[in-house]
Structure 1
Amino acid sequence: MKNVNKDIVSWLEDIVEENNSRIERKEWKSKYNSYVVYDYEPFCTDGFEINLVITSYDEAYLNFIKYLYDEKVSTIDYLNSCISQ
């Protein structure tokens, strides 16, 4: 998953664990320089996107995790649009 919102990373990690899956790699990639990639959280996370590699023995778990993530993001976007109106 690319460019995961840093506010829901912990939620996503819990969902991955609950669904018989695991995070193989978690990286912070600079939005401004493609050569800057950290495998640990940098001191200042502004300007970085969080990318996760999630694996599972069954593809259905991965599809379900993706569905839950997409629904959460769309719900957050909807609520933010309601606030801004």
Structure 2
Amino acid sequence: MTITASMCTARIEAEMARASRHIAQREDVRHEQPVRAREYHEAYATWHKCNAILAARRGDKGDELGGMKWHRAHAARHSKLAGGGA
């Protein structure tokens, strides 16, 4: 699913929860199974994208821990690790 800033907060939080479940399910097997590693990083990228939007909404647009820029950078990193573009 594509995450956009125009989505309501409840939908973004639901996507974060879904991504968190996917991360937890794939965390233990991601090193042995490349497909699971890709899914793990895709889920982590989604989680960071959601957090970036929520950080921007609360006015935390900086690049320090938890800020919008910080989450965007980590989302790009995980997208790259998943095999996608930043």
TM-score per shorter chain, which class?
0.3 to 0.5
If each structure's helix is expressed as a fraction of its own residues, which one has the higher value?
A: 2
TM-score, normalising length: structure 1 = 0.37
If each structure's strand is expressed as a fraction of its own residues, which one has the higher value?
A: 1
TM-score, normalising length: structure 2 = 0.37
Larger radius of gyration: 1
